Amino acid sequence: MSRKSKKQFINKNDAYRALLTDTLPYEVPFKFSNTGFYKALKDNDDKLNFPFPLNSVKKKVYSIPYNYKIKKDENSYRTLSVIHPLHQIECSKFYSNFEQVILNLTANNKYSLRYPSDVGAYYYEKSRKTEDSDVEWGTVDNNSNSKLTSSSYFSYEKYNFMYKFYESYEFHRLERKFKNLLRMDISKCFHHIYTHSMSWAVKGKNFSKNYVNADTFDGGFDKLMQIMNYNETNGILIGPEISRVFSEIILQSIDTKVDNALSSKELTRGVDYEIRRYIDDYFIFSNNKSVSEAISQILEKNLSEFKLYINESKTISVNRPFMTGETIAKIEIGKTIDHYFSQLVNFKQDNDYSEEKLLKKIWNKSSLSNSFIRDVKAIVKKNEISFDAVISFSISILIKLLKKVLNAIKNHKAEVNEKDLEKLKIFVLETTFFIFAMSPKSRSSYLICRLINLLKEEPKEDSDDSNINKAIFDEITALIQSSSHQNKEPNIELFNLVTTSESLGKSFMLSEELIQQAFGLEADIKSLDYFRIVCCLDYCGNKRKFKGIKKQVIKFLIDTKFGEFDMIEKSTEAFLLLCDLLSSPYISTAEKKAIAKSYLVAYQKENISLRTAQIGQKAAALTNYFSSEREWFYAWKSKPDDIQRLLMRKELRTAY
């Protein structure tokens, strides 16, 4: 870890710190977080006296999560969920009360590669000065590595990403010992987890069916997972880390049952086989395929007792060497990137550039970019994989090398020709955006936004001749148009790029048509949800150019949106909308009052106790409550210059 990084100790007595780490999905717009909500709790002595009817969701009454979609692969989407903020508070309290029970239940693991091992004590916070040095992107507090670059409630053993297991000494040792690897995963694991199975895991199935108690750890965790999800017992929410903690306890219980069953079959772990599990992915190592098959049958039997099943279509058996097409492709792409950069840059190990220039002459940038893209496509095709498998990997390497160049210029006084530096930047930009465009995902969009922040030139009031900023603008424009023409659903990766594009300056403002395409306004305004609404209004701001779009969205909110909610008082999306719209600096007081009245009219349809004569007074109370300068969930007041800070905060969140 760089000496410029500061070790930050965590207040373990803070009952609400899980709000900052474990209760939201990782894949959200980077201006969205619980930071404002958390600060409000701390500033008001842990009490938020929300006005009626926002205070109607009680800790034992269920809520309806806000569901949204992210790209899963080139052709499909995954649904993630945001828990109701008032139930997120209950999650935080549960963690605080039962953290040691959770650790005890995950301490005796047999196979797990990712499990809570301790309560997080500290993390390293990188200052802006360290932006040019190497960093790990979006990692989790990981005991196996001294480079702690994130804040999570728990510290985790052993690997924060699955690929690190493949690259580990542990994996190579297993490969030396065993000839065969059988890889399996659970089909739609979180969709099928039965919340009552927490008690089965902790106390045994038969005992739990006869003795149910919501005041115990297992009963409380079961009930908590239900009330945040429409009181559903079949399936848990996907996205928040707390769901992975819930599943880990259950899966470790199954691991123990499998281990005991194998021992009774006279199969010895470490001799006849080894099993590893990363969340819901299993790795079975053996020297005999018949042994692997016997193990898989026992595993399937024990999973089925918890209503979980193996995804047969993803079961893969390989013999040594345990190399997949994805692994080979990453090796080849890494070498390809190194090869092209060696033609562009003279890196010196001693950082002495006094006798030789850092950058080589680039005669034909376009030809170089096209050649690199061709080679990457050939690698993907040859290894029969999709671009999804290598996008983040490839972009991370390109960014790392670009940062190394910028670091040499800034900190080691390497002299460069400005035109050559511009060509290098545009080469990195074009190749990175091509790779990203093959299958844009929210996680890789954070990398792209970081790249834009590295490349962009500060906008000048009297000039719009920045070739770099124009190239960035053109790439973002092309991506929005491509997504719209392919009828792809507007989602987070586009919203992040639109938000980041604002830092390019007024000369590179997106057109009304592009904004309509990016947020899906031209297709069906009725499909607008919370993320699309706040990101769109944020970009429009008070800019005269987007007055019409802003008016269109606000009119939809007042006339239609709130009336479409079922059980609006329990709706997470309605709660988020009201908090952020009524605190937005871009919505007038009159519009805020109309929004509050629209919410209350919708509420009245389901709660006749609210009289029509009271609506005006209640609307005024709502608008007054949110009239302060406080931000709640969406960072309205962040300026283009704050993007770096927000993206660094994103890096401190848990990814897996």
C-alpha distances (whole Å) from 48 to each of 39, 51, 372, 424 are 11, 9, 55, 51
Residue 437 counted as domain residue: yes
272-313 tens-digit pLDDT = 999 999 999 999 999 999 999 999 999 999 999 999 999 999
Q: In which domain, by residue range, is 449 found?
A: 325-463
CB-CB contact of 515 with 509 (8 Å)? no
* pLDDT score recorded for residue 5: 54
Domain termination residue (choose one: 447, 463, 479): 463
* 277 and 333 together in one domain: no
Q: How many residues appear in the chain? A: 656
Q: How many CB atoms lie within 10 A of CB 556?
A: 15
Domain count, the chain: 2
Assign 364 to helix, strand or coil.
coil
3-state secondary structure of 82: strand
Same domain, 180 and 98: yes
* CA distance readout (Å), 438 to 7, 74, 212, 442, 652: 38, 8, 50, 13, 27
In a domain, residue 238? The reply is yes
In this prediction, residue 643 carries a pLDDT of 83
Q: Tell me how far CA of residue 319 lies from CA of 276, 288, 292, 350, 424, in angstroms.
A: 17, 10, 12, 43, 42
Q: Does residue 69 fall inside a structural domain?
A: no
Does the residue 72 lie in any domain? no
Q: Are both 109 and 252 inside the same structural domain?
A: yes
* 264 located within any domain: yes
Q: Given the DSSP bridges, would you call strands 122-125 and 154-158 parallel, antiparallel or unpaired?
A: unpaired
Helix and strand numbers, DSSP H then E, in the chain: 24, 10
Which pLDDT does position 6 carry in this prediction? 60
DSSP 40-60: HHHHTTT---PPTTGGG--TT
Are the C-beta atoms of 570 and 57 separated by less than 8 Å?
A: yes
CATH code at 188? 3.30.70
Residues 214 and 269 in one domain: yes
What are the angstrom distances between the C-alpha of 281 and each of 53, 202, 246, 314?
Answer: 43, 22, 16, 10
Residue 148: its pLDDT value, please?
29
Give domain status of residue 521, yes or no: no
359 shares its domain with 394: yes
d(CA 49, CA 45): 11
Same domain for 359 and 288?
Answer: no
pLDDT at site 147: 32
Q: 458: helix, coil or strand?
A: coil
pLDDT for position 135: 32
- Segments of the chain with pLDDT less than 50: 1-3, 128-141, 144-150, 654-656
The two tokens of residue 574 are: 């309605």
Asked whether residue 88 is assigned to any structural domain, the reply reads: yes
Tell me which of 463, 480, 500 is where a domain ends: 463
Query: How far is the C-alpha of 518 from the C-alpha of 477, rounded, in Å?
Result: 9
| Helix spans in 560-635 (H) | 572-581, 589-606, 612-625
Same domain, 290 and 333: no
Do 195 and 276 have their domain in common?
A: yes
- My answer on whether 195 and 290 are in the same domain is yes
Choose one of 319, 348, 370: the last residue of a domain.
319
306 with 369, same domain: the answer is no
Shared-domain flag, residues 351 and 241:
no
Instruction: List the beta bridge partners of residue 6.
Output: 125
N-term to C-term CA, the chain: 21
CA 122 to chain centre: 21
**Pair 184, 292 in one domain:** yes
